[in-house]
């Protein structure tokens, strides 16, 4: 399951963030970061997955 989340974090960062933490502050932050640039959204999503293992 973690591998799937990491792949989603690279392809669709907000989906991976939603799967990890649900709808909350980190999910909305990830959407904003992804809109500002895809790479910051990816980094945040991978960080969420690593932090909330």
Residue 18: its pLDDT value, please?
Answer: 95
User: What is the Cα Rg of the chain in Å?
Assistant: 9
Burial class of residue 16, CB neighbours in 10 A (0-12, 13-18, 19+):
buried
Q: Domain containing 27: what range?
A: 2-51
Residue 5: its pLDDT value, please?
Answer: 93
Whether residue 19 contacts residue 8, with contact meaning beta carbons closer than 8 Å, is answered with: yes
Residue 52: its pLDDT value, please?
Answer: 84
The tens place of each residue's pLDDT in the chain, 53 residues long, gives 889 999 999 999 999 999 999 999 999 999 999 999 999 999 999 999 999 87
Rounded CA separation 12/23 (Å): 15
Work out how many domains the chain is built from and give that number: 1
């Amino acid at each position: 399951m973690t591998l799937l989340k990491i792949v989603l974090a690279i392809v669709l960062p907000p989906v991976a963030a939603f799967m990890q933490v649900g709808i909350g502050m980190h999910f909305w932050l990830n959407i904003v970061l992804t809109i500002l640039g895809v790479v910051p959204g990816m980094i945040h999503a991978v960080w969420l997955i690593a932090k909330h293992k």
